[in-house]
Structure 1
Amino acid sequence: MSEDRINIGFIRKPHGLKGYVRVEGLSDAPDRFADLDRIGVELQDGRRESLEIERCSRDGNGWRMKFRGIDTTEHAERLRGAYIQVPEEAVAPLPRDAYYVFELEGCAVVSDEGEEIGILREVMSMPANDVFVVDTPNGEAMIPAVREIVVELDPGEDRVVIRKIPGLIS
């Protein structure tokens, strides 16, 4: 499997006695799993496997999945905590000026005056707007991802430019 893989789901726990698992989607695409025949999983110990999807259906806010060869609760239990992955090239293209979270995480965050601020570690999805969690020399900074603050997103150059507002970053 390719090293450039994107997490699109998380296996929560086994479901029932026949090898089904409950999956939490990590994608904004509500039907992300509906058209997949095969996925990669990264197990908790870091090993990766390729699994063929036998059945897949919506289950409340998540999914219920059955993989070929996983036929008992015990077999399904070893998948608990695994991330479901697809190759980076398998993600759907986005409109211009839209980016996936994985493209932004790890980018350098700089001010519009050229000052290095830190590294974008995480993008938190919040009700009002996303929040960039940035590791700075002075600790963690939480920066609202709004137009008034974020001047430029350039994942191709591994860079996010923000307008530095007094009190935003210590």
Structure 2
Amino acid sequence: MEFLRVGQFVNTHGIRGEVKIRLNTDFPEQRFAVGKQVWLQHPKLANKQALTIAGVRKHKSALLIRFQEWTNINQAEPFKGAGLFVPEEEVVSDEEDGFFFHQIIGCQVVTTEGEQIGRVKEILTLPANDVWVVSREGKGDLLLPYIEDVIKEVDVKERVVTMKWMEGLE
């Protein structure tokens, strides 16, 4: 079974096992609804572990989630940094954009002039807009806001993102 990353466990919150999740999905309401299952992947686990969502609430640009399987901080603490996944067959369609986060990560980024910039390594979901983190060889990461003025074309088949270079991006 193939899995898609939908979030990352970044920290604990309180003593009752609630955790802070950084999102890697355009559909947090569907992915992290009460009663849904997500799969935890962490180096301390031989296999992915299923967790059932018991409670969820927004907290800044992240979510605070309580899992049925964890009732205190000591159960959650060892898994900080873990990825959260859902089975690929649970893909939520996105007719507006026509692509998903997992299709963008790894794409080559080029400018409208044809200059090679790097590869998308991560997508940050922020309140104003998503930011695509581009890994560049020999340079620091480039943060590209996902807005019309910057991202001009996304070709998921060819795995290429075309961007317009604007002053202040670097």
Partner of 1:24: 20
Q: Is the 8 A contact 2:103 2:156 kept in 1?
A: yes
Q: Is the 8 A contact 1:11 1:83 kept in 2?
A: no
Give the distance between the partners of 1:30 and 1:88, measured in 2 at CA.
17
Distance 1:47 1:7, change over 3 A: farther
Give the distance between the partners of 1:162 and 1:12, measured in 2 at CA.
33
Distance 1:124 1:138, change over 3 A: same
Partner of 1:154: 155
Structure number, greater radius of gyration: 1
Aligned length: 161
Partner of 1:56: 54
Could you list the runs of 5+ residues in structure 1 that have no partner in the other structure? none
Amino acid corresponding to residue 157 of structure 1 in structure 2 = E
Distance 1:110 1:56, change over 3 A: same
Partner of 2:7: 8
Between 100-109 and 40-49, the greater mean CA deviation after superposition: 40-49
Distance 1:159 1:46, change over 3 A: farther
Give the distance between the partners of 1:9 and 1:136, measured in 2 at CA.
23
Amino acid corresponding to residue 24 of structure 1 in structure 2 = K
TM, length-normalised to structure 1: 0.71
Give the distance between the partners of 2:82 and 2:148, measured in 1 at CA.
35
What secondary structure sits across from 2:19 in the alignment? strand
State, as a whole percentage, how many aligned pairs show the same letter: 24
| Displacement after TM superposition at 1:58 (Å) | 3.0
Partner of 2:94: 94
- The root-mean-square deviation of aligned C-alpha atoms, in Å, is 3.2
TM, length-normalised to structure 2: 0.71
Give the distance between the partners of 1:59 and 1:116, measured in 2 at CA.
40
Distance 1:15 1:146, change over 3 A: closer
Q: Is the 8 A contact 1:9 1:23 kept in 2?
A: no
Partner of 1:122: 122
Could you list the runs of 5+ residues in structure 2 that have no partner in the other structure? none
Distance 1:168 1:85, change over 3 A: closer
What secondary structure sits across from 2:119 in the alignment? strand
